Amino acid sequence: MKEEKLKIALQKAGRLSEDSIGLLKKCGISFNDGFGKLRTEALNFPLEIFFLRDDDIPEYVADGVADAGIVGENIVAETCKQVNTVEKLGFGRCRLSIAVPKNFAYDSVESLNGLRIATTYPRILSDFLRRNEVKAEIHVISGSVEIAPSIGLADAICDLVSSGSTLLTNGLREVETVMYSEAVLITQQNLGSAQKEILEKLLFRIRAVKAASENKYILLNVPNDKIERVCQLIPGMKSPTIMPLAESGWSSIHSVIHKDDFWEVVEKLKQEGAQGILVISIDQMIR
């Protein structure tokens, strides 16, 4: 009998490709992602991988040609296909924003009334304009949206932004955020039972990798009279590990800390007299 596989679609070449491939590899899945490949099979996990244009991924998944896909929420929202979003993946973060020329007198969303706005996201933009009761003309273009105002094609744009430097170099100013986006794992709505099982295994690994990337392992030495206070600062997964040092009166404490709290907590730990603080990246974390 043919081995059942989960078919997953990744972006072929673009901003999500490296992180999508990297995520599967961190999940311990090995495959050949040689340049120009359109399809490959994982060597040690029941996964068949397709490499596609990101815009096509929701449709392939909705039609069941692929069972799952990794794509930006912006594409899921714009293509409006019937798919399930099962997990946010924490990369490919950006926002879809409206920007106007630097010297445009912008007060509020009402300033957009009567403007021509260039975008590759007409559906999301028209929803936004409708919600805000703005009447503007949407010009759909397929790329290089940011130059539309300077060549007289539009008065404003609605495009993806991450740092904002592209807007700045094109003399544009961001005035409204239409949506925030990151890469997500989507699945088709009629997964077979074997595919559901494989998806669960994959999700278990993805969550372990995600948790690991959001946390750090921390080790430090403290005088024994500070143990209680330090344990409050770094409570860890269940509770910290405490081990006596060879030097009496001192202990080593090991714990896990969220990366966003890291600097603030380290400052407090130092104030409590912690020494020899080591911080180590975690590969996988299973709660």
Residue 56 within binding range of Zn ion, rule CB under 5 A: no
Collapsing DSSP to helix, strand or coil, 229 comes out as: helix
Q: Which is nearer to ligand ATP, 103 or 163 (CB)?
A: 163
Collapsing DSSP to helix, strand or coil, 210 comes out as: helix
CB of 70 to Zn ion, least distance (A): 13
Site string for Zn ion, 122-141 (x = CB under 5 A): --------------------
Q: Which does 72 bind (CB under 5 to 8 A by kind): Zn ion, ligand ATP, none?
A: ligand ATP
Q: Which does 187 bind (CB under 5 to 8 A by kind): ligand ATP, Zn ion, none?
A: none
SS (H, E, C) 52-89: ECHHHHHHHHHCCCCCEEEEEHHHHHHHCCCCEEEEEC
CB of 252 to ligand ATP, least distance (A): 41
Q: Which is nearer to ligand ATP, 29 or 71 (CB)?
A: 71
CB of 121 to ligand ATP, least distance (A): 10
**C-alpha 52: how far from chain center:** 19
Sign of the Cα torsion 118, 122, 124, 128 reads positive
Q: Which is nearer to Zn ion, 17 or 284 (CB)?
A: 17
CB of 175 to Zn ion, least distance (A): 24
Give the interface with ligand ATP as residue ranges (CB under 6 A). Answer: 11, 14-16, 53-55, 72, 74-75, 92, 94, 160-162, 181
b/e code 115-130 from CB counts within 10 Å (16+ = b): bbbbbbbeebbebbbe
Q: Which is nearer to Zn ion, 48 or 55 (CB)?
A: 55
Residue 54 within binding range of Zn ion, rule CB under 5 A: yes
Q: Which is nearer to ligand ATP, 74 or 215 (CB)?
A: 74
Q: Which does 74 bind (CB under 5 to 8 A by kind): ligand ATP, Zn ion, none?
A: ligand ATP
What is the end-to-end Cα distance of the chain in Å, rounded?
A: 36
Residue 55 within binding range of Zn ion, rule CB under 5 A: yes
- The single-letter DSSP state of residue 4 is P
Residue 59 within binding range of Zn ion, rule CB under 5 A: no
Q: Which does 102 bind (CB under 5 to 8 A by kind): ligand ATP, Zn ion, none?
A: none
**What is the contact surface with Zn ion in residues (CB under 5 A)?**
54-55
